[in-house]
Amino acid sequence: MAPLDPTPGIASNLFNTGAERLALLGKYHKQLMQGYLDGYVDETAFSEGALKKLIAARILWRPDEQQPLALRPLVSELIASMVADENRRQINADVAEKLEQIRNRVQAYRDAQYKGDYAVAELQLQRLTEHVHDLSGQFEEAIDSLWHRLNSDFGFVSSLDDKIRENERAQKQLRRLLDGLDLLDFTELIELSEGNNHLRKLLVSQLQSQLSSHHSSLLEVQKRLVELLAKFRQQQSRSLLISNMVAFLRQHPKYQPADYPNRSELPDLFNQASAIRPQAAIALDKASERQILAELVRALPRQVAVTLSDTPSASFSELLQDEEIAARQLALKTDVENFYLRVIDRGGSLSALEYLTEQQLPWDCEIWLYQILAEYQALPVAEKQMFQLQREESPASAVNSLYLIRDISIGLQAA
């Protein structure tokens, strides 16, 4: 059942007055919208009686005797909010005033309940609900305004300086909204709603949920503003460098950049990269250079790197054993390198086992072939392509499909 209105005469007059003035807005909507766009109202578009009604209805006013009629600020703000005109809309998030109105409504509601006038108490609770929703709605309108500024104003301003100024304006507005959120003391609201479930749900549960969502939205806007400002500053520094260079070239039209690579002392701006070391390699596909490569390789000093254990607990026999193993490995590697050098010297194909027999090397055939394959696989791709490797394979037995490598022949690729 709807609550009874304690003052039916006042409510009826309020209803009639409001309906009449809303009808005036609808009747003269084209003239009023044109006045919103022009900044003043064309008085010739109205009759004398219509102007008197609009002025009495607080829709039009004359700021000064020397100025034409114009829309009242609240009417202009209403139109700007409805058409999302961010250049004209002014977001009013006066939290202190709204909180004071909420306190007064809570006190009036409690007084009406104390007196037993439940109809007035219901009316005060309805007005209190409107104030709470209006407070949350103002924050929501302000956040929508900030997002609209991010998506429109920054994209249509003429220069980077204007974008930076728009960013600063948006950050100031965001700071005011965050300060307004800080004014909301939920401890006080809990005390105001103590003992009443309707007030507690309205002032604590609903309002806290709504303001928490607004606070998260403002933090997202702030992150976006900081990212845009950093991007704008970076673009500004680059455009400033280019504009200064253009201005310098206009003042010095005959300017020619110096040949910085041929200077002994370079400016720090250009001397950033290390010097490039030219690389050269002997072409193995040329027969005239194979002998030179073989002589250079033979002239290289041989370094014996034997790692001995320095552990105090190691015995002398273990040290000797480790040294002997390292020496044998180095000797095997050296013999394999000499085998590859013989291939380069001769230029033709050379059998690994024939070379082993010819040089009377003390290595096992299997170990010798394995080391030759290991050295071949360890070569860089460019060098590996210079050699041609052929395997002499045979099955292990008539019933086994496993193939065993009997010998390896290595030669140089044809030019």
**Read out DSSP for 143-186?**
HHHHHHIIIIIHHH-SSHHHHHHHHHHHHHHHHHHHHHHHT--H
pLDDT at residue 320 above 80? no
Q: How far apart are CA 221 and CA 307, in angstroms?
A: 64
Q: Which residues pair with 411 in a beta bridge?
A: 388
Tokens for 383, please give them.
Answer: 């060098």
Strand 387-397 and strand 350-351: the pairing is unpaired
The answer to whether 172 touches 222, Cβ cutoff 8 Å, is no
Tokens for 105, please give them.
Answer: 């409504």
Q: What distance lies between CA 177 and its chain's CA centroid?
A: 25
- pLDDT (tens digit per residue) in 80-126: 777 765 554 544 446 777 788 888 888 888 888 888 888 888 888 88
Structure letter (DSSP) for residue 394: E
- pLDDT (tens digit per residue) in 27-39: 888 888 888 787 7
Q: How far apart are CA 171 and CA 139, in angstroms?
A: 15
Q: Which helix (H) or strand (E) holds 345?
A: helix 316-346
Query: For position 3, what pLDDT does the model report?
Result: 46
Type of residue found at 232: F
Mean of all residue pLDDT scores within the chain = 77
Query: For position 200, what pLDDT does the model report?
Result: 84
Percent of the chain with pLDDT over 90: 0
Q: How far is CA 235 from CA 30, 202, 224, 246, in A?
A: 44, 48, 17, 16
Query: For position 311, what pLDDT does the model report?
Result: 46
Q: Which of 96-110, 136-150, 291-305 has the highest mean pLDDT?
A: 96-110
SS3 315: coil
Tokens for 244, please give them.
Answer: 């200064």
Q: How far is CA 231 from CA 159, 221, 237, in A?
A: 14, 15, 10
Averaged pLDDT, 343-362: 82
Q: Which helix (H) or strand (E) holds 401?
A: strand 400-412
Structure letter (DSSP) for residue 412: E
* CA atoms 50, 51, 54, 56: torsion sign: negative
**CA atoms within 13 A of residue 27's CA, in its CB half-sphere:** 14
Query: For position 331, what pLDDT does the model report?
Result: 83
* CA atoms 328, 329, 331, 336: torsion sign: positive
Q: Which helix (H) or strand (E) holds 298?
A: helix 290-299
- pLDDT (tens digit per residue) in 33-73: 888 787 778 888 888 888 888 888 888 877 666 667 888 76
Averaged pLDDT, 195-223: 83
Query: For position 325, what pLDDT does the model report?
Result: 80
The answer to whether 32 touches 76, Cβ cutoff 8 Å, is no
Determine phi and psi for 70, rounding to 5 degrees.
-145, 165
pLDDT at residue 307 above 70? no
pLDDT at residue 181 above 60? yes
Q: What confidence category does residue 306 fall into, taking pLDDT thresholds of 50, 70 and 90?
A: very low
Q: How far is CA 307 from CA 304, 323, 325, 329, 337, in A?
A: 10, 8, 11, 12, 21
Structure letter (DSSP) for residue 45: G
